[in-house]
Amino acid sequence: MTTFALPAIVQPSVAIQGSDARFPVRRIFCVGRNYADHAREMGNDPDKEPPFFFTKPADAVVDHGATIPFPPETGNLHHEAELVVAIGTGGADIAKENARDHIWGYAPGNDLTRRDLQNDAKATRRPWDMSKGFDNSAVCGAICPVSAVGHPAHARLTASVDGAIRQDGDIADMIWPVDDIIAYLSRFVRLEAGDLVFTGTPAGVGAIMRGQTCTVAIEGLGEATVTLA
């Protein structure tokens, strides 16, 4: 039996819809600029290019319904509504036509972003880590197993703040669909069971203030709600 010098780290996890069991989180990958309308609103060219990725630490994950502290070192915290893909079977160099065999389920998610820090990082050509990978930055609703929901191709994706809709799109509008994302990402890293992939956000991202509640909803997949203390 292994002895550790410090208390063992608690395994980050996400709820599973209709089950008391939880989905263990290994790594969190996020796709940037995967909706043309969002690329335009951020001042980028939406023409199809290979997807790019950034990461969040596994322990940044937050369950639906949580209340979290307002993040430090930002005056411009943004919501980003996203479809989250949960990987159930690992693999490298996964063929696009086999990508769905590796998916365990789907969930709504919110890629919280310290937009002011991200803008500074872009301007100085520095990494995005502190703008994306901070504590409590990966809000994720309960995962819906593929056995229950299949592989949704069309589903309304919204983000609302205190009941007012801010983002309203459809997962069908992704520049790079889920199968392409998994195939491309697996060329760079070996995916494993427990990985989460946030697949990008449509237009309408905006600020969440202290005391406000943000809800991301995906038709047929439930909600991911978080309140900023």
pLDDT at 51: 86
Q: Residue 58: phi, psi to the nearest 5?
A: -60, -35
CB atoms within 10 A of CB 47: 8
pTM over 0.85: yes
Distance, in Å, from the CA atom of 155 to the CA atom of 220, rounded to the nearest integer, reads 7
CB atoms within 10 A of CB 125: 6
Q: How confident is the prediction for the chain on average, in pLDDT?
A: 95
Distance, in Å, from the CA atom of 29 to the CA atom of 16, rounded to the nearest integer, reads 19
Spans in the chain with pLDDT lower than 50: none
pLDDT at 1: 84
CATH of domain 13-228: 3.90.850.10
pLDDT single digits (tens) 167-220: 999 999 999 999 999 999 999 999 999 999 999 999 999 999 999 999 999 999
| Side-chain half-sphere exposure of 71, counting CA atoms within 13 A | 26
Domain segments of the chain as ranges = 13-228
Looking up tokens 């047929």 gives 220
Looking up tokens 């292994």 gives 2
